[in-house]
Chain A
Amino acid sequence: MDYINAFWVGGLVCALVQILLDRTKMMPGRVMVLLVVTGCILGFVHIFKPLQDFAGAGISVPLLGFGNTLWKGVKEAVDKEGFIGIFMGGFTASAVGISAALIFGYLASLVFEPKMKK
C-alpha cells in the first residue's frame, strides 16, 4: 500500500507540474523554484509531515521534500541559535543533498561524453 500511495501522489505532483510546463510560459527553473517554495510552506503549515507519512517518497522526491528540508533546517537552527539560525539552518540541513548533486554531477561528467538530444 505504501508503494501505491507513493506512486499516485508522486504522479499527481508531476502531472500538476507538467500542466504548468505545457500551459504556461513558465521556464523550467521557475517551476522548480515554485516546488521548493511550496515545500517550505507546506512544512510551515504542518501539512508536509502528514503528507509524507501517507505518501513517503511520493511527496519528498519531487523537490517539495527539498523545500521542507530547508524549512526544517531553519526552524531547528532558530530554536537553537536564535536569529542567526535563519541564515544557517537552510544550508546545514541541505548540505548533504547539494554536495551530493555537485560531486556526483562532476563524477558523471568525467565518465560520460556529451550527447545530442534525440
Chain B
Amino acid sequence: MSMDKEKGAKDVPIGLGLGLAMNEKAMKHYSEETGGGSMNQTKGAQSISFGERPYLMSSGSVVGKKESEGPLGNKFDIASDDDLFGEDTWEAAEGTMQKLACMLALKKAGEQAENVRYLFGGDLLRQGVATSMGVEELQIPMFGLFGACSTSGEALALASMTVAAGYGDRILAVTSSHFASAEKEFRFPLGYANQRPASSSWTVTGSGAFLVGNQKSSVCISGVTIGKIVDYGLKDSQNMGACMAPAACDTIIRNLEDFGRKESDYDRIITGDLGYVGQSILFDLVRKKGKDIKENHMDCGMMIFDQKTQNTNAGGSGCGCAASTLSAHILPKLISGEWKRVLFVPTGALMSTVSYNEGESVPGIAHAIVLEHC
C-alpha cells in the first residue's frame, strides 16, 4: 500500500502535490479550531464523545477447538483444532493467536503492518508476555496494556482516542487469552488435574484484533466511558463474575448518565465475561439504580459456550472471550445494520497471583465502548 502511495505522489508534479497537501492540512487545522465542540470532546464525568468519529475498519478473530464447537463456532475467522497452534508451549501458542488475529485484521482492511502507527495490546499473562511474543514480528510501535479481561475495551478506547486526536491514522488493538496458560497462571497447571467449582468460568482460548482508523467503514466508535476500580471486597477468584458485576454496573450507569441516554437507546448492552452468576448480580445492582437492562443485555461469556453441553460452568471468560465475540458476532450485526448502537462493556478482574495468595480482595473494572452502525 505504501509503495502505491509513494508512486502516486511521484506522478503528480511536485509543486502541485505539496500545495494540495498543505491546503488540506491548513483546512483541517482551521476546522478543528473553529468547529465547536471538537476542541472539548469530554462528556460527563468519565466519558468521551468523539467529534470526529474513528472507524472500526476491520477485525480478526482466532479461537481454539472448544470455542469452535460452541454456538458461535462457525463465525470465527480461524478456528484451530490444535490448541498449541503449532508451538511448544501454551504461552507461545497465545502469542501466535495474537499475531494471526492482527494479520487477519490487516488483511481484511488491505493494510500492511508498516502503515499502522501504534499497537495497543495485552493479555492475562505475567508482564503481558503473550502480546510481546506475538506482535514482535509485526514491528509496530506498541503499548503493552493490562486490564485483565477488560483489555479489549481498554485497547479500543485508547486506539480510538489516538485516532480521534490525530496521533495516528491506523491503530491496532489486540488482546488474547488461552485456557491452558491462564489456568497455569491463576489456578493450577492442567497436569495437576484439579476439579473446577461450579461458579468458576472457562477461560476462552481466543484472540481478537481490531484496526481502528479514520477511513470510513460501516462501524464507528462514537464514544467511550472509562471505568473506575470497583471492589466490593469479594475474595473468591474462582467466582470472577460476582467480582466484576459491580464494576460493570458502575460503568454502564455512568455511561447512561454521561451521555444522557436511556438503556433503550442501545440495541444491546453487551458485557464481556460476567457469565451466568455475574449477570444476575448485574441485573440486581442496575435495578437498585433505577434502571433495567434485562431486555437488551447480553454477555459474551454466555454466548461463546453452550453451558449445557460444554461443561463450562459459569460461562466463558478471559480477554479473548469479549474480543473474539466482538469480532465474530457483534461487529457483523453492526455492519449489517441489524443493530444500530451497541454498548460494549468488557469487564476485568484485576487481581494478581500474589495479591490473591495474600488474601486480598479482587478489584474489578469495566470500560464501555459505544459502537454505532454508520
User: Which residues of A are at the interface with B, using a C-beta cutoff of 8 A?
Assistant: 21-22, 25, 28, 109, 114-118
Contacts and interface: CB of A to CB of B under 8 A. Distances in A.
A21 B197 contact: yes
Interface string B196-210: 011000000100000
Interface of B: 64-66, 83-84, 90, 179-180, 183, 188, 190-192, 194-195, 197-198, 205, 236, 238, 311
A118 B83 CA distance: 12
Given A21-B197, A116-B179, 5 more contacts: A21-B195, A22-B198, A114-B84, A117-B180, A118-B66
A31 to B, nearest CB: 10
Prevailing SS type, chain A contact patch: loop
A114 B197 contact: no
A118 B192 CA distance: 14
Given A114-B180, A114-B190, A116-B65, A25 B311 contact: no
Given A25-B236, A28-B188, A117 B179 contact: yes
B190 A117 contact: yes
A34 B257 CA distance: 51
Contacts of A118: 66, 311
B194 to A, nearest CB: 4
Count chain B CB atoms within 10 A of each CB in A109, A115, A116, A117 and give the residue with the most. A116
B66 A116 contact: yes
A114 B180 CA distance: 9
Contacts of A116: 64-66, 83, 179-180, 190, 205
B190 A115 contact: yes
A19 B39 CA distance: 61
Contacts of B180: 114, 116-117
B321 to A, nearest CB: 16
A118 B205 CA distance: 12
Contacts of B83: 116
15 contacts: A21-B195, A25-B236, A28-B188, A28-B192, A28-B194, A114-B84, A114-B90, A114-B180, A114-B190, A114-B191, A116-B83, A116-B190, A117-B179, A117-B180, A117-B183
B171 to A, nearest CB: 33
A3 B99 CA distance: 56
Nearest to B190: A117
A18 B216 CA distance: 57
Nearest to A115: B190
Nearest to B195: A21
Nearest to A24: B197
A28 B195 CA distance: 8
B357 to A, nearest CB: 10
Contacts of A114: 84, 90, 180, 190-191
Contacts of A115: 190
Contacts of A21: 195, 197
Contacts of B66: 116, 118
A21 B192 CA distance: 15
A116 B85 CA distance: 12
Nearest to B179: A116
B55 to A, nearest CB: 37
Contacts of B64: 116
Contacts of B194: 28
B159 to A, nearest CB: 31
Nearest to B65: A116
Nearest to A117: B190
